[in-house]
């Protein structure tokens, strides 16, 4: 293959939950969503789980009620509930579009074909969803949506515009400082 662009994976997600590290990604090459789990991020061992389909630029999210979700998509984002063991999509679980157009708050500077690289966080009872857009003729734009409920409604705002910044997120320093 001369060029693998458009294959492989992007915008992987790393999470720490209940004493374990989770790295999740998708692969256009395998057509699957991949989740890797370990208690020791430096030494492993790593457990690998994969299932179909390949969920584009997803974010793995563990909610307070014990349910696990993926936020996935490009411009139109869906919330998909996973099985408790992360083996695939939960039959009869939540599977709905939560945002029709992630780039809408940035379109005042040009139409964007993006709204991807989702990263979802919960801080002080509110959900925050980060995405990258790139309006034509404009700068890369980080849009943050906020909601009181995971299923919405979501309110979006432009957070940052820059020539080189792409996906964004939050880091909890465990002393109540968020960056």
What are 14-28's pLDDT values in tens digits? 999 999 999 999 988
Residue 72's pLDDT is 93
Report pTM. 0.87
Q: What is the dihedral of CA 148, 150, 156, 160, to 10 degrees?
A: 100
State yes or no: cis peptide before 9, omega within 30 of 0. Answer: no
- Annotate 4-20 with DSSP letters as a single string: -BTBS--S-EEEEETTE
CA end-to-end distance (rounded Å), the chain: 40
Q: What is the pLDDT of residues 126-145, one digit of tens each?
A: 999 988 887 777 778 888 89
DSSP three-state, residue 107: helix
């Amino acid at each position: 293959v001369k060029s693998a662009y458009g294959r492989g994976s992007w915008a992987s997600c790393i999470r720490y939950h209940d004493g374990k590290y989770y790295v999740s990604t998708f692969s256009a090459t395998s057509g699957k969503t991949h989740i890797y789990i370990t208690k020791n991020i430096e030494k492993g061992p790593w457990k690998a789980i994969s299932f179909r389909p390949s969920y584009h630029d997803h974010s793995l999210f563990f909610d307070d009620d014990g349910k696990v979700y993926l936020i996935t998509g490009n411009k139109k984002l869906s919330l998909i509930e996973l099985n408790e063991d992360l083996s695939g999509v939960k039959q009869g679980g939540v599977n709905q579009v939560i945002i029709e157009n992630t780039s809408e708050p940035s379109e005042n500077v040009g139409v964007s074909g993006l709204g991807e690289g989702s990263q979802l966080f919960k801080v002080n009872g509110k959900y925050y969803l980060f995405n990258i857009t790139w309006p034509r003729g404009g700068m890369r734009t980080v849009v943050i949506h906020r909601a009181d409920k995971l299923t919405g409604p979501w309110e979006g705002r432009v957070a940052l515009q820059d020539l080189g910044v792409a996906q964004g997120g939050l880091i909890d320093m465990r002393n109540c400082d968020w960056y």
